[in-house]
Amino acid sequence: MPFKLVILWTDALIYLLLVLVIFFVWFVRHNEHLLVPWRRVGHSVSGMMALTVLTIFITIGLLDTVHFRPAIENNSSTYSKVYGVQVLSLFDVIATPLRTSVEKTYSAPFAAHLYTKETIELSGGSQIREFPRLKFGGAHLYDPETQLVADVIWRTVVGIGFGIFIWCVFVASIVMLIAYRCGKKFKQTFFAIFYNETEIPWRAIFIMLALILVLLGSALVLSSYYHIFGTDKVGQDVFYQSLKSIRTGLVIGTLTTLIMLPFALLLGIMAGYFRGWIDDVIQYIYTTLSSIPSVLLIAAAVLMMQVYMESHPEFFDTIAARADLRLLFLCIILGVTSWTSLCRLLRGEALKLREMEYIQAAHAFGVSHWRIISRHILPNVMHIVLIATVMDFSGLVLAEAVLSYVGVGVDPSMISFGTMINAARMEMAREPMVWWALLSSFSFMFTLVLSANLFADAVQDAFNPRVKTLTFVDRKFAPR
């Protein structure tokens, strides 16, 4: 094989989480009472538009999760394969032009020259100070001063056209699929979507998808010839770094939740159901944990882990394995320190549920405590778990950025929003100011967090029994 498949710790957990999500979707589809609130989520315009954006981020993150080590040329007499120490992902293969287009140092977005002047020796022996041409960005231009603006505009138009073409093909395929499943004609289904007469707000989804594909098409065409977000101090493409940061943010948000849930579920339900000394012990534990500043606790744990890793370098065959273990340990620490708020909510809900008539009847019939918890209490608190999980995702993404900014986050060799912002801190203070790295990382992180928050609001409205959500029929016949 020309490569060796590598499964990192976070990769394995993401695969496990993906299997759990597929099983959860299958289980919900076969239980009508669980499917009803998710249908209400599907009726939310803002929620489905946010889910469309999240789908793009998740796709990039999954592509960046399939890792391998490429084979290198073996000049020895043995026929055994030799693999490089660099760990690449499927996304790295797709984004090879961005990954390999490394300049000498800083360059501004859409620039054809370096950002700083250098001394260049002429053929006659004299020296001048000027901005050197970039090796890749705008290298196809003969005279950048007169050709650059027109070339950027032209390639932007080509990218927009490419995005609209992909959008038309995708929309036509979806409309044909919907028409086939509903037993209607293509034209009838198309106009139903156009006039927003469908249960799922397909018109809003298609509008958001059109915007995404237009931006992606333009970025795809332009990034083949320019650094659309400039380059950093070592000449790496900032747009590529921003895309690579997506996986780190998703891993922090999802795996931390996966680690946090067992603590919150078990301790919260036990405290509310059993009460007495069990409740007192659990309250003492999470009250004490909440009183400790989380940043200090995380910093101490990460620094101890870093000392252990530096003392045992033989445990890691690649730099990626070392950075991945630190990322996993950061997820564990964040999970251990962030379960207290959900535990309080579950304790209060369990205190209320244990006094319900059907719980008292189960006690009278001699049903065991653990069967009551698993059959009656746990299903009735899952809406709180789901709402808290979705809403905590964006907070965990921001937490990674803050921790990496103060130097106790992910490994410096791993690209993340926090490491990009931390690197941009010094770049903002130099003259001339390098602003594009901060703008790029902030834009991608803001889009990810905003879409996660909008989707969380839709989930909360759908699962909250105190909130009345309009159904498709209510919206259709509501007075205008």
The answer, yes or no, to whether residue 20 has pLDDT greater than 60, is: yes
Q: Please report the domains of the chain, with CATH numbers, ordered by start residue.
A: 3-223 (no CATH), 239-476 (1.10.3720.10)
Residue 2: its pLDDT value, please? 74
The answer, yes or no, to whether residue 371 has pLDDT greater than 90, is: no
pLDDT single digits (tens) 89-144: 999 999 888 888 888 888 889 888 888 877 777 776 677 778 888 888 888 888 88
Q: With contact defined as beta carbons under 8 Å apart, do 415 and 405 qualify?
A: no
Pairwise CA distance, residues 310 & 33, whole Å: 52
pLDDT single digits (tens) 179-221: 888 888 888 888 888 888 888 889 999 999 999 999 999 999 9
pLDDT single digits (tens) 347-363: 988 888 888 888 888 88
| 298-303: long-range contacts, CB 8 A cutoff, minimum separation 24 | 298/330, 298/333, 298/334, 298/337, 298/403, 298/408, 299/403, 299/406, 299/408, 301/329, 301/333, 302/326, 302/329, 302/330, 302/333, 302/403, 302/408, 302/409, 303/408
The answer, yes or no, to whether residue 384 has pLDDT greater than 90, is: no
pLDDT single digits (tens) 272-310: 888 888 889 988 888 888 888 877 888 888 888 888 888
Identity at 166, one-letter amino acid code: I
The answer, yes or no, to whether residue 160 has pLDDT greater than 60, is: yes
Residue 477: its pLDDT value, please? 42
As a whole-number percent, the residues of the chain with pLDDT over 90 amount to 18
Residue 75: its pLDDT value, please? 62
Residue 472 binned pLDDT confidence (cut-offs 50, 70, 90): very low
Indicate the average pLDDT of the chain.
Answer: 84
- Check whether the bond before 432 is cis (ω within 30° of 0): yes
pLDDT single digits (tens) 260-271: 888 888 899 888
The answer, yes or no, to whether residue 416 has pLDDT greater than 90, is: no
Q: With contact defined as beta carbons under 8 Å apart, do 266 and 259 qualify?
A: no
Residue 59 binned pLDDT confidence (cut-offs 50, 70, 90): very high
pLDDT single digits (tens) 207-218: 999 999 999 999
